[in-house]
A and B are shown apart, each in its own frame.
Chain A
């Protein structure tokens, strides 16, 4: 377990990288979930002077996923007693049709504008009522947060690369002697560096397990869930299959590249 102590800083560095990547993924996932949430809430009301089918709406803009007729029967029902059947039928025909349009995804402000213009151009459509407040404050904050996390991740990447580089020099120093002794007895490069690769792989696995553990604890604690529930969404903070695999691939990639650098830098000997 001496090696565990020796490689602590690499594990920490890998953990930091994995953790910040995962945070970035979680933020991205949160925004996607929130967009989905907004999309479900978001609809456009269209007033038309004649019947329009869903296919007709869809042909106007592919952003439109489906349309729903807003029933006017209730209104007419209430007038039943006060109007003659004949007048009522007339009214039924002349009364404009109301539709609610649902979108396939959450639109950007530009898309909304374009969509509204397209709808208004249609000869039968009299009014288009969208919600002006499409990009609400929470959403804007989330986008801002995403930017902040991105900058933060880059900063972390810079710091950890320095840490990894430092660790790399230490490794080079620690393993150079053994590797050169093995070379004196004719060990090929792969055999000389087998220990390094084994350690690199072990470190990557430990870092991945640590990240899984950390997110499991955060998940159990439920703090993130509570925060997200206040804006009406819930996400999977850490997918114990997909995210774990991605973390492992990143950790292995970083540590193997690091090991290769050492091995290539160590080919000359005494």
Chain B
């Protein structure tokens, strides 16, 4: 099976600080659904950051979507990121843009026409049950609603890989359910590879998944 992510002896740290992930070796198959768990501060977000190139491997090798992440060039990284959808714990929506435009961001970046983008955005806003909020600005929405917007944005450009960092960390039940359903839907219907960092694997999950756990700087799979 094709690998979307391959890590070999991957070590991660922030500049001169101590090593956070040390010599991790794992791989993630295309089209799989992966959960990453671990105690607070164990390095879950750090690992995810390395997957979208926000931090560089300090040791070992990391390949994402066929692209080597060690010493990656800016243009290559931009190219890779146009095929990844990220959901952050703090949403990272653009405050001065409407909900509609926020969802459109990946489509704007990929250079889709207005017509195609608008149609896609309407469809996604329907999926996250936010059509009626399209013209509002992020600060006018609740946390749960904002995360649903972020979820719609992550799906907008049909990415090959979705990275989500505690997407339902502090959301209401309804919003959590919408988000889990969308991640499952993308995985089953579009064969999108999903990597989710979470404290707690929801019992409602209906797809086969892999589970990695981070402890003391090591990443190991839980069968």
Contacts and interface: CB of A to CB of B under 8 A. Distances in A.
Contacts of A182: 94, 105, 109
Contact of B109 (A2, A187, A269, A270): A187
Interface string A163-193: 0000000000000011001111111110100
Report the interface size class on chain B: 20 to 34
Contacts of A267: 74
Contacts of A269: 54
A2 B96 contact: yes
Interface in B58-95: 74-75, 77-84, 86, 92-95
Contacts, number: 48
B94 A185 contact: no
A28 to B, nearest CB: 43
Given A269-B54, A270-B54, A185 B105 contact: yes
Nearest to B109: A187
B106 interface: yes
A183 B105 CA distance: 11
Contacts of A191: 108-109
Given A191-B109, A269-B54, A270-B54, A185 B81 contact: yes
B62 to A, nearest CB: 18
Contacts of B54: 184, 269-270
A187 B95 contact: no
Interface in B127-153: 153
A181 B80 contact: no
Contact of A184 (B83, B92, B97, B108): B92
A183 B81 CA distance: 8
Contacts of A187: 78, 109
A182 B92 CA distance: 10
Given A191-B109, A270-B54, A184 B75 contact: no
B180 interface: no
B35 interface: no
Contact of A186 (B82, B92, B95, B96): B82
B118 to A, nearest CB: 18
A184 B86 contact: yes
A215 B73 CA distance: 51
B94 A181 contact: yes
B94 A188 contact: no
A186 B94 contact: no
A265 to B, nearest CB: 15
B44 to A, nearest CB: 16
A75 to B, nearest CB: 87
Contacts of B83: 186
Contacts of B153: 185
Given A269-B54, A270-B54, A185 B106 contact: yes
Interface in A7-48: none
Contacts of A188: 75, 78
B54 to A, nearest CB: 6
Nearest to A195: B96
A184 B81 contact: yes
Contact of B96 (A178, A184, A185, A270): A178
A220 B128 CA distance: 60
In order of increasing CB-CB distance, the 5 nearest A-B pairs are A186-B81, A186-B82, A186-B78, A187-B109, A178-B94
7 contacts: A177-B94, A178-B96, A182-B105, A183-B81, A185-B109, A186-B78, A186-B81
Given A183-B81, A187-B78, 19 more contacts: A178-B95, A178-B97, A181-B92, A181-B105, A182-B105, A183-B78, A184-B81, A184-B92, A185-B81, A185-B106, A185-B109, A186-B78, A186-B79, A186-B82, A186-B83, A186-B109, A188-B75, A191-B108, A269-B54
